[in-house]
């Protein structure tokens, strides 16, 4: 059970304090309720661009990293389709340095053409390196656009097109910042060797007078139910043929999410999973295969991806995958098999909770989802899943008309 205190500033900033006196360190985690799904379809990649821009200097602090390093701290950030997260770890006696730095960039970035140009180049290079020039780098760009027709999950966090970042104007960037990076749209978690009173004092001092901004209301287009199977073929200079298939699954807070999470683990979570044992070790059709999902806040995708052994046809590979899915849809999993993936999930959650940094991130994430206290209910939700649930979910999930398939051929 993770203990925490919480309070909210008058400008809407939600603050969570988690005390852990076993460490000399403190963690500050600022999570903004904005991700790639909140972008204009004609201006994608902005949330990720901001992950970079936020380190380019703020209104009173031209260099973010130097003062943090002098205080013995480290920092990083990441963006997903659902949220943006910035986190700092530093000795707890230097905690105020983190407040000073994070509050200044929430107040306002130092917007100028030079900073935008530098970060634009960085992001464009990242786009080219990881998505255009890397073998199989365009797979999820393609598959998302096949699986989603309406919802903004149809583009990746990096953006739909390189041109959207190349053409980003300073006024567009500024508007995006003042729309999303406001106290009302953020959760601040301070964890480690800290007290609630200390955090209250510092939060009021450094964040209290930042203008609240307008509350961002999310009205995203909902993805209609898929009614027929979709399929695409691609040919590229890659080492071997690869097979990808995905299905629409339930959103993060739905009971069915937990069932699908365990189901994907049974099928493809590591070397003892069904797909690996059958299709890699026994039938030798794939050199590797996995089944996973993206953990999306809104209705997401469950996926199977695998590289084919040379000489195996796509049709053979797909037929073998479908045979394994058919087993899931017709026979109940044994209690032993289900307990094994539950144990794995439980140990993974326990391992993550060992680090103060992870606990701070989880508290922020569950607060963004609706309530930080949800963090303490996860194990119960997994424990409640039955073999009958797995059977039923397999039948709902793995319907042909709910699927999108990509045959990715290596050019001869």
The pLDDT tens digits for 44-103 are: 999 999 888 888 889 999 888 999 999 999 999 999 999 999 999 999 999 999 999 999
CATH 3.40.50.300 for the 230-410 domain, yes or no:
no
Q: φ and ψ at 259, to 5 degrees? A: -65, -45
Write down the mean pLDDT value for the chain: 95
Q: What is the DSSP letter of 384?
A: T
Give the pLDDT of residue 137: 93
How far are the Cα atoms of 237, 242, 385, 399 from residue 268, in angstroms, in the given order? Answer: 27, 16, 18, 18
Give the pLDDT of residue 111: 85
The mean per-residue pLDDT over the stretch 204-219 comes to 94
What is the strand order of the sheet 301-308 is part of? 230-236, 403-410, 242-248, 301-308, 286-293
Q: Is 260 helix (H, G, I), strand (E, B) or coil?
A: helix
Q: What is the DSSP letter of 63?
A: -
Residue ranges, CATH 3.30.830.10, the chain: 5-207, 230-410
The mean per-residue pLDDT over the stretch 162-166 comes to 93
Angle ∠(210,211,216) on CA atoms, nearest 5 = 120
Confidence tier at 114 by pLDDT (50, 70, 90): confident
Give the pLDDT of residue 412: 77
- Looking at the DSSP bridge assignments, the partners of residue 302 are 247, 293
Q: φ and ψ at 86, to 5 degrees? A: -125, 135
The mean per-residue pLDDT over the stretch 260-265 comes to 98
Confidence tier at 126 by pLDDT (50, 70, 90): very high
Instruction: Please check whether residue 179 is in contact with residue 39, taking contact to mean a CB–CB distance below 8 angstroms.
Output: no
pLDDT at 259 over 80: yes
Give the pLDDT of residue 53: 86
Q: Enumerate helices (H) and strands (E) in the chain, giving the number of each.
A: 15, 11
What is the model's pTM?
A: 0.95
Q: Which residue, among 175, 173, 159, 51, has the nearest Cα to 114 in the 3D structure?
A: 173
Q: What percent of the chain has pLDDT over 70?
A: 100
Q: What is the CATH number of domain 5-207?
A: 3.30.830.10
The mean per-residue pLDDT over the stretch 9-23 comes to 97
Host H or E run for residue 25:
strand 25-32
The pLDDT tens digits for 170-196 are: 899 899 999 999 999 999 999 999 999
Instruction: Please check whether residue 43 is in contact with residue 172, taking contact to mean a CB–CB distance below 8 angstroms.
Output: yes
Q: Is 264 helix (H, G, I), strand (E, B) or coil?
A: helix
Q: Is 211 helix (H, G, I), strand (E, B) or coil?
A: coil
């Amino acid at each position: 059970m993770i203990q925490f205190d919480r309070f909210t500033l008058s400008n809407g900033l939600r603050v969570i304090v988690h005390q852990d006196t076993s460490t000399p360190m403190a963690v500050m985690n600022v999570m903004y309720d904005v991700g790639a799904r909140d972008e204009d379809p004609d201006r994608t990649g902005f949330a990720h661009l901001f992950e970079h821009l936020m380190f380019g200097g703020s209104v009173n602090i031209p260099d973010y990293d130097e003062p943090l390093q002098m205080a013995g701290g480290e920092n990083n950030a990441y963006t997903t389709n659902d949220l943006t997260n910035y986190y700092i770890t530093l000795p707890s006696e230097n905690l105020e340095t983190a407040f000073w730095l994070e509050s200044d960039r929430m107040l306002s970035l130092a917007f100028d053409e030079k900073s935008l140009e530098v970060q634009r180049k960085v992001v464009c290079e990242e786009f080219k390196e990881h998505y255009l020039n890397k073998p199989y780098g365009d797979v999820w760009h393609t598959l998302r656009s096949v699986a989603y027709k309406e919802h903004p999950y149809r583009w990746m966090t990096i953006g739909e097109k390189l041109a959207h970042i190349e053409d980003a104007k300073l006024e567009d960037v500024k508007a995006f910042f003042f729309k999303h990076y406001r106290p009302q749209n953020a959760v601040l978690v301070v964890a480690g060797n800290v007290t609630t009173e200390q955090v209250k004092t510092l939060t009021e001092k450094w964040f209290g007078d930042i203008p609240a901004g307008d509350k961002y209301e999310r009205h995203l287009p909902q993805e209609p139910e898929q009614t027929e199977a979709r399929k695409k073929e691609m040919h590229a200079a890659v080492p071997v043929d690869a097979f990808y298939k995905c299905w629409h699954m339930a959103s993060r807070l739905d009971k069915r999410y937990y069932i699908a999470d365990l189901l994907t683990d049974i099928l493809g979570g590591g070397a003892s999973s069904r797909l690996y044992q059958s299709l890699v070790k026994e039938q030798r059709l794939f050199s590797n295969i996995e089944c996973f999902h993206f953990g999306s806040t809104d209705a997401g995708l469950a996926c199977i991806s695998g590289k084919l052994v040379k000489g195996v046809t796509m049709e053979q590979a797909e037929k073998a995958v479908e045979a394994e899915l058919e087993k899931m849809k017709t026979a109940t999993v044994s209690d032993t098999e289900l307990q094994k993936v539950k144990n794995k999930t439980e140990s993974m959650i326990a391992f993550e909770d060992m680090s103060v940094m992870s606990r701070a991130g989880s508290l922020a994430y569950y607060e963004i989802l609706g309530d930080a206290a949800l963090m303490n209910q996860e194990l119960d939700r997994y424990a409640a899943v039955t073999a009958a649930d797995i059977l039923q979910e397999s039948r709902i999930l793995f319907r042909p008309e709910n699927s999108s398939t990509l045959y990715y051929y290596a050019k001869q």
